């Protein structure tokens, strides 16, 4: 089944069911040779999943939500080839998350539903693979349920990267609202990753725009526009079925990662716009989470100008 009822509900409301059916024909289970070659060139992978209850999530500030663990998006890095296809429907990852990452236990549990996204800023290409975890001695594998590519819309181009010698993750900072430095971090962002789940799986996707496309309204509130995409509405469809969600912001120069977890819901405006409201349950900031330092971006010509209708994220903690 290409789409579940949540995605269908959004497609019908927006009036794009026929287009979604056409685009959905590109979804499959097999990792084709061109996709396998793409994966082996990538130095990082983003994984989205629900944390395993009792797996240490309470140590990183992620309260259990909706009867399950919080949903998070996490970063893995390695030399090109650390992510590769080892069969038509099996993705191998030779690496592990940093100690204390909220998804560490989930990626060590066979059968965990995960969404992955490999994104190459050098070529503005991205590939998504959703499936089930199979633990392995040097990392983990994912048995593919769904494999597909996305267009380069809203993806910033970064021509080169280098691996910084000696850079390693620093102590993580946990909290329930954004600090002033985190607020500035988010307001500078041109990219973030979104993890969502549904009853039968998980997904990780990308959101991008010019700096300022994500706004911090208060220490407890973020906002961004929901821009037109591929019409499948996988992420918003998942949120219709399960409101848990995770966000990952990266500093492409310093390697700092900011992970947020919470719940979200979609609201529609009379003029056809979409707003998603997200209540934050926990945040983790890890300095130097990535050893990669990327060159300055060239912003996508598809990026909308900042401002206008946006998505709002609310934290259930009083603003200071």
Highest mean pLDDT among 6-10, 209-213, 287-291: 287-291
Q: Tokens 């700096």, residue?
A: 211
Burial (CB count within 10 angstroms: exposed 0-12, middle 13-18, buried 19+), residue 21: middle
Cβ–Cβ < 8 Å for 259, 104: no
8 A C-beta contact, residue 289 and residue 252: no
172-196: per-residue pLDDT in tens? 999 999 898 998 998 999 999 999 9
Question: Best-predicted range by mean pLDDT among 64-68, 99-103, 153-157, 224-228?
Answer: 153-157
For residue 1, is pLDDT > 80? no
Reported as a pLDDT band with limits 50, 70 and 90, residue 213 is: confident
- As a whole number, mean pLDDT of residues 67-80 equals 91
pLDDT at position 61 over 50: no
Residue 313 has pLDDT above 50, yes or no: no
CB of 243 within 8 A of CB of 265? yes
- How far apart CA 311 and CA 226 sit, in angstroms, is 6
Percent of the chain with pLDDT over 90: 69
pLDDT classification of 315: cutoffs 50, 70, 90? very low
CB atoms within 10 A of CB 166: 6
Task: Indicate the pLDDT class of residue 120, thresholds 50, 70 and 90.
Answer: very high
Residue 314 has pLDDT above 70, yes or no: no
What does the pLDDT read at residue 318?
35
pLDDT over 70 percentage in the chain: 90
pLDDT at 312: 45
Domains of the chain and any CATH numbers:
5-314 (2.30.110.10)
Q: Give the list of residues 6+ apart from residue 317 with CB closer than 8 angstroms, or none.
A: 176, 177, 220, 280
Residue 66: pLDDT band (50, 70, 90) is very low
Return the number of other C-beta atoms located less than 10 Å from residue 310's C-beta: 20
Phi, psi of 269 (to 5 degrees): -95, 160
CB 107 within 8 A of CB 47: yes
The model's pLDDT over 268-310, given as tens digits with 9 standing for 90+, comes to 888 778 877 878 888 999 999 999 999 999 999 999 887 544 4
Mean pLDDT (the chain) is 88
- Give the total residue count for the chain: 320
Q: Of 296, 308, 128, which is closest to residue 202 (Cα–Cα)? A: 128
User: What confidence tier does 111 reach under pLDDT thresholds 50, 70, 90?
Assistant: very high
Between the alpha carbon of residue 113 and those of residues 144, 311, 318, the distances in Å are 10, 26, 34
Q: 112 — phi, psi (to 5°)? A: -60, 130
Rounded Cα gap, residues 147 and 201, in angstroms:
13
Distance CA 279, CA 20 (A): 29
Least confident of 13-27, 55-69, 128-142, 199-213: 55-69
Q: Which position has the higher pLDDT, 215 or 44?
A: 44
Q: Which of 141, 203, 227, 153 is nearest to 2 (CA)?
A: 203
- The 3-class secondary structure across 128-157, one letter per residue, is EEEEEEEEECCEEEEEEEEEEEECCCCCCE
Q: Are 282 and 317 in contact (CB under 8 A)?
A: no
pLDDT at res. 214: 82
């Amino acid at each position: 089944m290409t789409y579940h009822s949540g995605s269908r509900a959004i497609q019908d409301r927006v009036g794009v069911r026929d287009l979604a059916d056409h685009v959905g024909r590109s979804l499959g289970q097999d990792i084709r040779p061109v996709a396998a070659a793409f994966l082996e060139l990538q130095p990082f992978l983003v994984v989205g999943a629900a944390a395993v209850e009792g797996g240490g999530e309470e140590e990183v500030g992620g309260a259990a939500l909706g009867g399950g663990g919080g949903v998070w998006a996490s970063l893995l890095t390695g030399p090109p080839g650390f992510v590769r296809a080892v069969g038509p429907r099996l993705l191998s990852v030779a690496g592990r998350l940093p100690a204390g990452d909220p998804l560490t236990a989930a990626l060590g549990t066979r059968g965990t539903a995960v969404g992955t996204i490999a994104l190459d800023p050098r070529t503005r290409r991205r590939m998504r693979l959703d499936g089930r975890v199979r633990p392995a001695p040097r990392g983990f594998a994912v048995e593919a349920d769904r494999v597909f590519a996305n267009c380069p819309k809203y993806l910033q181009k970064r021509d080169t990267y280098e691996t910084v010698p000696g850079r390693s993750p620093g102590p993580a900072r946990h909290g329930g609202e954004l600090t002033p430095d985190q607020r500035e971090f988010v307001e500078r962002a041109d990219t973030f990753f979104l993890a969502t789940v549904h009853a039968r799986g998980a997904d990780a996707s990308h959101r991008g725009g010019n700096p300022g496309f994500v706004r911090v309204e208060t220490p407890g509130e973020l906002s961004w526009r929901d821009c037109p995409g591929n019409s499948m509405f996988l992420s918003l469809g998942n949120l219709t079925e399960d409101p848990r969600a995770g966000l990952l912001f990266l500093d492409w120069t310093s390697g700092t990662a900011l992970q947020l977890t919470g719940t979200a819901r979609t609201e529609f405006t009379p003029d056809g716009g979409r707003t998603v409201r997200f209540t934050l349950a926990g945040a983790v900031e890890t300095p130097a989470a990535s050893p990669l330092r990327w060159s300055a971006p060239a912003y996508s010509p598809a990026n909308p100008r900042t401002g206008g209708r946006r998505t709002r994220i609310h934290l259930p903690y009083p603003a200071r």
